Amino acid sequence: MLNSIALIGGTHGNETSGIQLITNWLNTGLPERFESLNVTCALANMAAIEANQRFLDEDLNRQFTAEKLAADNPAREAQLAKKLNAKYGPKGHSATDFFIDIHNTTSNMGATLIVLEADDFNTKLARFVKHVMPEANILVEDEKSFVEHGYFCTVGKKGVMIEVGAQPQGVLREDVYQLTLTMAEAILDFCVAWNARSQELANLPPCEAFRLGHEVKFPLDENGKRKAMIHHSLQDQDFTPLLPGAPIFRGFDGTDFVWEDDNETYPHFINEAAYHKLDVAFATAERISF
Amino acid sequence: MLNSIALIGGTHGNETSGIQLITNWLNTGLPERFESLNVTCALANMAAIEANQRFLDEDLNRQFTAEKLAADNPAREAQLAKKLNAKYGPKGHSATDFFIDIHNTTSNMGATLIVLEADDFNTKLARFVKHVMPEANILVEDEKSFVEHGYFCTVGKKGVMIEVGAQPQGVLREDVYQLTLTMAEAILDFCVAWNARSQELANLPPCEAFRLGHEVKFPLDENGKRKAMIHHSLQDQDFTPLLPGAPIFRGFDGTDFVWEDDNETYPHFINEAAYHKLDVAFATAERISF
């Protein structure tokens, strides 16, 4: 039974769709059909929201490893993480059965559900979401165990992220807002069905999903400066198969860089603004049946 | 004669297309056909570029009024503006004949040339750019005199802005980069023709342009919080006619707000991230022959 659910926006202060959805539901209450659920709606990083920035000192959504939660880091998000862990966790012995954290991205990822485990709960959740929202993408980041991730949602016993794009930082687009709303409602509909031990959940067929591979960096010159940008034929093509030999970067000198792997991949987080400083161009994934 | 031309990027530190174009041209030099021109390429706000933010303390591109340049404001951009005014101006008695400042926007404005005067020079420039780049938009902001504007480009004897979108802050898109490059080259081609007293410039026909009207704000509740977002049918429709009765906002309660003016308008800067704090939803314009 999911006796306590947290639904969170504003973990990143310039990701407006989750902030606005939580603000609206705090004002109006959740839709009536979720009244059997015990859902806590909240905004995570009020100072970053006020500043309209992703974070003030450090990325809040990377602070929730056991190591970082135990460390003595004066960064404002590190301090905030300890308070949030006490409130919604503590991690590993959590008072929150299911934690849903809402994000948006400048990448054209549509409505993506990010799950961190391939267990019975997450598999049924993913199949249910894909069933009621066929346009959704399922991204599986299970390259390490659930608790080893530093994401905020891992303070819950179970946790997932909603990631919707493309939306510039600090901008609210209606299309992104509506996709965020639809996916949040789909997840809560699943919670109702899970708590009711609905037979429907056992009967859902496997769904398409994408399992995270690795990060691909921009080509840099000897001074560490970028010498290319995302190729126009790759831009906005998140989760579209990238074939061997297809262009991925356009050099500032006009030369193209191609995908040199032997296999196709499913790129995502293409040209995400928040990964700018890290020179991450996109992430790879393999297509799986989940 | 245009004896000194300034071509500037990074007036806003997270507007990457101008920053990258200037960086590239500082590395490679300008294309050969511009070798007769005396062009100074430079990045304006290095600290903001390093921080990947629009500005650190205040918007640099609003600091160049006579009043602000004379004031004693400790904000870093106010101090920087004085140095830049000394270097490229001083405003009103400028050493720079023509100042081109490169920007980008989260609004879907395509490649827009912003001129601040409807005089012979700017008219011919606009007609030339529209002639060689028909997809360009011409935006005329002559609601006040050239020197009364606070824009950086007004430190030159003549000054314009390149404004290209849609591009999220902190992201470089190839399509936006290429439009920026094409428009910068078109303006420099004009400078060559102007200095050659080319008869071609006198023979250019009037072109379509848009004259700035006023700003339209988001609907706010009694607490000053937004109660609506840009309607999906208006989003990305910059410079497309907005007709009386057409929806402009979608309320969070599901109600629509419509354009109540008696006349059509040409909205632009729709949902621009930088105007978020000001609650500016878009700007209006009338379509003119220029």
- pLDDT for res A21: 98
Longest CA pairwise span in chain A (Å): 60
Per-residue model confidence as pLDDT tens digits over A72-82? 999 999 999 99
What are the chain B neighbours of A254 within 8 Å (beta carbons)?
none
Percent of chain B exceeding pLDDT 70 equals 100
Give the closest-approach CA distance of B284 to chain A in angstroms.
Answer: 19
Q: Do B174 and A229 touch (CB under 8 A)?
A: yes
First-last CA distance in chain A: 23
Q: Do A235 and B175 touch (CB under 8 A)?
A: yes
Q: Specify whether the backbone of B236 is left (phi greater than 0), alpha (psi in -120 to 50) or beta.
A: left
Residue A261 vs residue B277, higher pLDDT: A261
Match 């989003």 to its residue by tokens.
Answer: B235
Give the closest-approach CA distance of B206 to chain A in angstroms.
Answer: 33
* Of the candidates A33, A10, A13, the residue with the CA atom closest to the CA atom of residue A22: A10
Q: Do A175 and B235 touch (CB under 8 A)?
A: yes
Q: What is the mean pLDDT of residues A143-153?
A: 97
Q: How far is CA B221 from CA A204, B225, B282, in A?
A: 44, 5, 19
Per-residue model confidence as pLDDT tens digits over B215-233? 999 999 999 999 999 999 9
ipTM over 0.90: yes
Q: How confident is the model at residue A243 (pLDDT cuts 50, 70, 90)?
A: very high
Q: What is the mean pLDDT of residues A33-41?
A: 97
A213-289 under CATH 2.20.25.160, yes or no: yes
Show which residues on chain B lie within 8 Å of chain A, measured between beta carbons.
20, 23-24, 28, 52, 106, 166, 168-175, 177-178, 225, 229-232, 235, 250, 252-253, 271-274, 276-277
Q: State the Cα–Cα distance between residues B269 and A258, nearest whole angstrom.
A: 35
- pLDDT for res A209: 98
Give the closest-approach CA distance of A279 to chain B in angstroms.
Answer: 11
What are the chain A neighbours of B18 within 8 Å (beta carbons)?
none
Q: How confident is the model at residue B277 (pLDDT cuts 50, 70, 90)?
A: confident
- pLDDT for res B25: 98
Give the closest-approach CA distance of B22 to chain A in angstroms.
Answer: 12
Q: What is the mean pLDDT of chain B?
A: 97
DSSP letters for B151-213: -GGGGSSEEEEEEEES--TT---HHHHHHHHHHHHHHHHHHHHHHTT-GGGGGPPP-EEEEEE
Give the closest-approach CA distance of B200 to chain A in angstroms.
Answer: 31
Chain B's closest residue to A280, CA to CA, is B171
Q: What is the mean pLDDT of residues A170-196?
A: 98
Give this prediction's pTM.
0.96
Burial status of residue B285 (CB atoms within 10 A of its CB: 0-12, 13-18, 19 or more): buried
Q: What is the mean pLDDT of residues B87-112?
A: 98
Long-range Cβ contact pairs of A182-185 (< 8 A, separation 24 or more): A182/A111, A182/A133, A183/A111, A183/A113, A183/A129, A183/A133, A183/A136, A184/A7, A184/A21, A184/A100, A184/A102, A185/A31
Beta pairing partners, B99 = B6, B159
- pLDDT for res A210: 98
Give the closest-approach CA distance of A273 to chain B in angstroms.
Answer: 5
What are the chain B neighbours of A219 within 8 Å (beta carbons)?
none
Q: State the Cα–Cα distance between residues B117 and B123, nearest whole angstrom.
A: 8
Catalytic residues of A: 163
CB pairs under 8 A between A and B: 84
Per-residue model confidence as pLDDT tens digits over B120-142? 999 999 999 999 999 999 999 99
Q: Kindly tell me if the per-residue pLDDT of A218 is higher than 90.
A: yes
Q: State the Cα–Cα distance between residues A41 and A8, nearest whole angstrom.
A: 6
Q: What is the mean pLDDT of residues A11-23?
A: 98
Residue to mutate among B171, B175, B248, with most A CBs inside 10 A, is: B171
Per-residue model confidence as pLDDT tens digits over B50-73? 999 999 999 999 999 999 999 999
* CB-CB contact of A141 with A114 (8 Å): yes
CATH number of A5-206: 3.40.630.10
Match 């056992």 to its residue by tokens.
Answer: A202
Q: Do A169 and B232 touch (CB under 8 A)?
A: no
Q: What is the mean pLDDT of residues B260-286?
A: 95
Q: State the Cα–Cα distance between residues A111 and B127, nearest whole angstrom.
A: 43
Beta strands in B22-136 (DSSP E): 39-43, 98-104, 110-115
Q: Kindly tell me if the per-residue pLDDT of A277 is higher than 90.
A: no
Q: State the Cα–Cα distance between residues A168 and B170, nearest whole angstrom.
A: 9
Q: What is the mean pLDDT of chain A?
A: 97
Q: Do A252 and B20 touch (CB under 8 A)?
A: yes
Show which residues on chain A lie within 8 Å of chain B, measured between beta carbons.
20, 23-24, 28, 52, 106, 166, 168-175, 177-178, 225, 229-232, 235, 250, 252-253, 271-274, 276-277
- pLDDT for res B276: 83
Residues of chain A with CATH 2.20.25.160: 213-289
Q: Do B173 and A235 touch (CB under 8 A)?
A: yes
Q: How far is CA B62 from CA A10, B11, B49, B58, B201, in A?
A: 30, 10, 17, 8, 32
Match 């509909």 to its residue by tokens.
Answer: A189
Residues of chain A with CATH 3.40.630.10: 5-206
Chain A's closest residue to B49, CA to CA, is A277
Q: Kindly tell me if the per-residue pLDDT of B24 is higher than 90.
A: yes
Q: Do B169 and A172 touch (CB under 8 A)?
A: no
What are the chain A neighbours of B106 within 8 Å (beta carbons)?
168, 170-171
* Of the candidates B158, B149, B156, B171, the residue with the CA atom closest to the CA atom of residue B59: B149
Q: What is the mean pLDDT of residues A61-76?
A: 98
What are the chain A neighbours of B173 within 8 Å (beta carbons)?
229-230, 232, 235, 271
**Which helix (H) or strand (E) covers residue B80, if one does?**
helix B76-88
Catalytic residues of B: 163
